[in-house]
Amino acid sequence: MGTLFIVPTPIGNLEDITLRALRILREAALIAAEDTRRSRVLTRHFDINTPMTSYHEHNKLSKLDEIFAALETADVALISDAGTPGISDPGFELIAAALEGGYDVVPLPGACAVTTALIGSGLATDSFRYVGFLPRKTAALRERLASLKDGRETIVAYESPYRLADTLTLIAEVLGAARRVCVARELSKKFERFYRGSARELRDHFAADNPRGEVTLVIAGADPDDASWTAEQVRAALNERLAAGEALSRAARDVAKSAGWSKNKVYQLGIRDD
């Protein structure tokens, strides 16, 4: 019986692959790749001729028999588009199924956008929470951020560059405009850059300059001394919503939830400012 090797591949710079990873990819009987077209760029670069099959979100169930048949007699290497398989991709389901089937599973250390962004962010690394891809819809994203608001751990998430400005706006609104944030862009690639600052500063920056390329967000955990917003922060968030045409009652409810205030107190603040 063979072994399923979990092989990290570079997230940008091809030099970041390990010698062990190259050996496993050459010696395996089969490579299961999330995107065979992208993966063949890697294997051609390193002159690896191992047969390859696709394994991704849309065919994962139909591919299990093929992969397990190969594992009966030889080793199989699992790779993703980039980085470490099993993190926010269907690789974890194959890993779970292989373990349940009694196969050996061996993970290799290697490239990972989560830890790379975290280390480069300058934010606390002693305790962090990876939350995967953030919700696309505004209401769901607001709810997700609200659930993270009081956590002390540093938060790491993936986000589309096309939604970055809107996401930073909500981070400033829900978590607080002063919350420290790092936007890590194009990690390990030629145009890699880290943008560090408050949620307000980065919101203003990316509202005027939408980035390209892959983005990883790192957000500081809650400061125990900042359990709730100041009256100035509440007033600013409330006025922003009212200016957008939102009803006072709904605006007060949502701002209160984010700010740690009572809805009635926020509502009265809105009436006094009217």
pLDDT number for residue 51: 96
Torsion sign across C-alpha atoms 123, 127, 131, 137: negative
Examine residue 34 and state whether it is found in any structural domain, yes or no: yes
Examine residue 150 and state whether it is found in any structural domain, yes or no: yes
Output the domain CATH number for residue 129. Answer: 3.30.950.10
pLDDT number for residue 105: 97
Same domain, 73 and 130: no
Of 59, 84, 107, the domain-final residue: 107
Helix (H) or strand (E) holding 37: helix 36-45
Name residue 131's amino acid. V
Same domain, 159 and 205: yes
Same domain, 82 and 125: no
Helix (H) or strand (E) holding 15: none
Same domain, 16 and 103: yes
Same domain, 125 and 193: yes
pLDDT number for residue 225: 61
CB atoms within 10 A of CB 99: 12
Examine residue 127 and state whether it is found in any structural domain, yes or no: yes
Examine residue 226 and state whether it is found in any structural domain, yes or no: no
Examine residue 225 and state whether it is found in any structural domain, yes or no: no
Same domain, 251 and 267: yes
Examine residue 62 and state whether it is found in any structural domain, yes or no: yes
Same domain, 18 and 100: yes
Domain that holds residue 251: 231-273
Same domain, 8 and 102: yes
Examine residue 82 and state whether it is found in any structural domain, yes or no: yes
CB atoms within 10 A of CB 257: 16
Domain count, the chain: 3
Examine residue 269 and state whether it is found in any structural domain, yes or no: yes
Q: Which residue has the tokens 């139909």?
A: 62
CA 161/CA 185 separation, integer angstroms: 9
Contacts of 65 (CB under 8 A, 6+ apart): none
Same domain, 30 and 103: yes
Same domain, 167 and 213: yes
Q: State if pTM tops 0.75.
A: yes
Burial of 88 per CB tally in 10 Å (0-12, 13-18, 19+): middle
Same domain, 191 and 95: no
pLDDT number for residue 232: 83
The string of pLDDT tens digits covering residues 187-244 is 999 999 999 999 999 999 999 887 888 999 999 998 866 556 778 888 888 888 888 8
CA 207/CA 223 separation, integer angstroms: 26
Of 192, 219, 246, the domain-final residue: 219
Q: Which residues of the chain have pLDDT under 50?
A: none
